Structure 1
């Protein structure tokens, strides 16, 4: 097996790597380090997030740096201040035994005067964001005319963030004779354009296929209605008691809103986005790294530079605008040889966005149903039992109390004691999820349950089919009805073979469904004659006026009394929904309790006061 010494690095660097626990180089390090050491040719390198790119370009530069020369010899550009700070920290750790070596990070949001003072002392390697680097160049405080290496890290993201003009300005003040190293997790056309315009006959290396996802990551998607997106997110968190996850949102506002909801609902969560001060960002990131936070809600940009190897899940609250960004998101999990799960929460209309991502990552998304209340309770209960089984008993401290405890529990056998203990700790969770509704998108479910010969529309659009009749049925969500169970109930009436089922609308206390209008009378008769019941409740089915799409702008006239009553009931139904507590409005297992310690640390109430 290849060692770092085999790659040509000196003893001081190897000693620092040993202190850090680095034993053998990763694939990208094994390919890039000898190339940079042996050749002055430009390098274009692909490596997935989390594969050790910083060491791949940082170690060969440290090997060749002239410590006696106080000029800046290398400039490393990164898209965000977090990533710049992380790179600078890594290089500082790698150079631990290189006496006299200096590295500095320059980035916005921090005192430029302090950064200028560092530069005046002489810095061998500068790590900077494009904006602050250009600012220092314009002030004539950063001189790059003697640099030997220019490194573009996460070049694709710098372009996505609109830094092309800044890159042009920086490249214009660097010498023609330098080695340019371009590292990227994806290679869209814009990155290829940089390579073409600013690099001379670059050597190309890659660890894995270009633009492909990590083999350690599996990809799942959940189809829900827009109104259930957040509740589905909570179900995913609840069914995974040991979740340690980043939830990605597209905008700063969305990020803060989702984080605020999670915090209010008792989850160990916080937000990371560009509206936070540097001190706030540093605090959030530190808490997440040491697992005081269990869930981090972040924008794509803010999450760059977050060096965490143990994430169990990456959750896309909404898919990114740029499909390449999905690779960066999913690459935050499945790192350092560990497996991870990347989840996309989508509506039926957004399903089409998964196809180009599948082509990009070379993997297929697996359709996954939103967890049921029963699944969640089972997972949380087993987690609780595991904690009880593994708890370390302090015999010395507890012995004095045992006689009183035994006396209180006298008469309870082992099974009864276990039941009471579990109920004491778990009743809130069980009660909450007792009648949990099905969050899976009804259109999507109907599309998967119907006979393949039927004309199913799974795109979430309302059908306006004149060949369908609309029926009222007196059961709904509060009766544990969902689209699949309603379809089963209809099929049980044996109205006709392969009868077509259209639009289904499940409300709290009643529902609507559409069937082939040629079987209108048979449908009413079948339900009546069979004495249909659902979980012990008599079922009543009536024909009602078919809803219009409303596109004509006309007023709906007439309709049966049951239809008019149904409309009034639906309005009240919506009001009741608004008055209900949001899903998860309690403190349960897998969620933090105020002012108590959990497996992931102590609640930090200050997160609610964070700037939005």
Structure 2
């Protein structure tokens, strides 16, 4: 095994420049192991100029392979000259940080690359111990990184060679601007910087001027767009029957995996509990869950042990879950650009997918803005109103159970037992853990007290 820790070496210039974008053979083999048969558009544009030593602004729609576009040049640089604390990747969300780390470890497994994920919700002492070992690549959210730069003895980034900001528009929109400014002040001016984003906002342009030197702009998509293989639909429904229509669609498309986006943490939790009471394997993912529960929920969905993930916009950016067949906008996004990112969780890397947006009497203007942004009129998803209305009684009962469980969970959180973590994902909700009579669409279960 080639190991960066033991044998830094310089590789000869790669052959087959056009076939592999200049990526060396050992990394091409790692790509093959991951099932990456050919480079994506953004990788074809960005990797050659990155390998030339230029700063890069990468603009591409979600699901276009942006992570590979910056990971491969960084790993090739590490191969040529191994160094501790070589690269820093900044991301807006914890889940995206863990996902990027997984890709770095997979691509760099044969060369001994060490990574550290530094995000909130995890014990700072254990993170400080990992940083003390000086990994090659640090993947972090801005807020927690600042905590370590200010408080962790001996940790600094004065020798940093690469800075990457992934989903840069989201980092800045989440009010991390002051943290990013602080980070820029404590890292070397002589470094390589990659700025990757699905959208180019005024804040990103400002950051570009402050952080990049003579960058090359690699724009695969110049307008807000969704991928061609995504089938997009809407349903115009009365607000009071949203739950019924959701259950109907999940039943009609049974066998697929779904990401259902809700506007609030509370609604994601409520709908997940309601669906479970009907026998549908659903799990929530939102910001009020502990980090361990969030990662657990994501892993259960990725492993297909849960078929429905109820998520807030914490999951709308960057997450790559190949088997998502359908995205449902249960609550329409208030920001039109978030629609692009939500529906981008399906139809990734050339696969096909489906999205369905619920439009109530209160959402018409927001929906019109989305259509204007993507430049197309969406067709209505075919539904049978009579069949949906037949579900009202069972859904109402499931809603009632969900409300009881939510109330019990809130009370439990206020007075948890010693050493016991609140069951904030609802998997082990106390009290009412019964299914609605006749509610299971995959084998009916009896209701008891």
Q: Is residue 2:109 matched to residue 1:112? A: no
**Equivalent position of 2:235 in the other structure:** 222
**Equivalent position of 1:371 in the other structure:** 384
Question: 2:278 pairs with 261, 265, 285, which one?
Answer: 265
Q: Write the mapping of 1:124-273 to structure 2, written as runs, cut at 5 A.
A: 124-140=136-152, 141-273=154-286
**Equivalent position of 1:39 in the other structure:** 53
**Equivalent position of 2:439 in the other structure:** 587
- Contact kept, 8 Å, 1:149 with 1:178, in 2: the verdict is yes
Relative to structure 1, the CA distance from residue 124 to residue 435 in structure 2 (aligned partners, 3 Å threshold; closer, same or farther) is closer
In 2, Cα distance between the equivalents of 1:346 and 1:4?
47
* Corresponding residue SS for 1:55: helix
Give a deviation string over 1:423-449, Cα, whole Å, max 9, x none: xxxxxxxx956999xxxxxxxxxxxxx
Relative to structure 1, the CA distance from residue 337 to residue 371 in structure 2 (aligned partners, 3 Å threshold; closer, same or farther) is farther
**Equivalent position of 1:331 in the other structure:** 344
How far off its partner does 1:68 sit? 6.1
**Equivalent position of 2:369 in the other structure:** 356
In 2, Cα distance between the equivalents of 1:276 and 1:435?
30
Q: Compute the TM-score of the two structures, normalised by the length of structure 1.
A: 0.60
Q: Is residue 2:106 matched to residue 1:103? A: no
Q: Compute the TM-score of the two structures, normalised by the length of structure 2.
A: 0.80
**Equivalent position of 2:23 in the other structure:** 9
Relative to structure 1, the CA distance from residue 593 to residue 24 in structure 2 (aligned partners, 3 Å threshold; closer, same or farther) is farther
Relative to structure 1, the CA distance from residue 70 to residue 114 in structure 2 (aligned partners, 3 Å threshold; closer, same or farther) is farther
Q: Kindly name which structure, 1 or 2, has the bigger radius of gyration based on alpha carbons.
A: 1
- Contact kept, 8 Å, 1:323 with 1:357, in 2: the verdict is yes
How far off its partner does 1:254 sit? 1.4
Q: Write the mapping of 1:400-479 to structure 2, written as runs, cut at 5 A.
A: 432=390
In 1, Cα distance between the equivalents of 2:108 and 2:19?
15
How far off its partner does 1:189 sit? 2.7
How far off its partner does 1:261 sit? 1.2
In 1, Cα distance between the equivalents of 2:191 and 2:107?
23
Q: Is residue 2:40 matched to residue 1:30? A: no
- Contact kept, 8 Å, 1:310 with 1:335, in 2: the verdict is no
In 2, Cα distance between the equivalents of 1:309 and 1:3?
29
- Contact kept, 8 Å, 2:278 with 2:440, in 1: the verdict is no
How far off its partner does 1:36 sit? 0.2
Relative to structure 1, the CA distance from residue 592 to residue 269 in structure 2 (aligned partners, 3 Å threshold; closer, same or farther) is farther
Unpaired runs of at least 5, structure 2: 1-15, 395-435
Give a deviation string over 1:210-267, Cα, whole Å, max 9, x none: 3211112122111112211221211221221223110101211111111111111221
Give a deviation string over 1:400-439, Cα, whole Å, max 9, x none: xxxxxxxxxxxxxxxxxxxxxxxxxxxxxxx956999xxx
How far off its partner does 1:5 sit? 5.5
- Contact kept, 8 Å, 1:313 with 1:333, in 2: the verdict is yes
In 2, Cα distance between the equivalents of 1:364 and 1:194?
34
**Equivalent position of 1:480 in the other structure:** none
How far off its partner does 1:373 sit? 4.8
- Contact kept, 8 Å, 1:326 with 1:357, in 2: the verdict is yes
In 1, Cα distance between the equivalents of 2:269 and 2:103?
30
In 1, Cα distance between the equivalents of 2:252 and 2:136?
50
Give a deviation string over 1:121-152, Cα, whole Å, max 9, x none: 22111110111111111115531222121100
In 1, Cα distance between the equivalents of 2:307 and 2:225?
28
How far off its partner does 1:191 sit? 2.2
Unpaired runs of at least 5, structure 1: 377-430, 437-583, 596-612
* Corresponding residue SS for 2:110: coil
Range with bigger deviation, 356-365 or 76-85: 356-365
Q: Write the mapping of 1:51-62 to structure 2, written as runs, cut at 5 A.
A: 51-62=64-75
How far off its partner does 1:593 sit? 5.2
* Corresponding residue SS for 2:268: helix
- Contact kept, 8 Å, 1:186 with 1:327, in 2: the verdict is no
Range with bigger deviation, 74-83 or 198-207: 198-207
Relative to structure 1, the CA distance from residue 200 to residue 371 in structure 2 (aligned partners, 3 Å threshold; closer, same or farther) is farther
**Equivalent position of 1:598 in the other structure:** none
How far off its partner does 1:207 sit? 2.3
The Cα RMSD (Å) is: 2.7
In 2, Cα distance between the equivalents of 1:126 and 1:14?
23
How far off its partner does 1:353 sit? 1.2
- Contact kept, 8 Å, 1:76 with 1:127, in 2: the verdict is yes
* Corresponding residue SS for 1:127: strand
- Contact kept, 8 Å, 1:266 with 1:585, in 2: the verdict is no
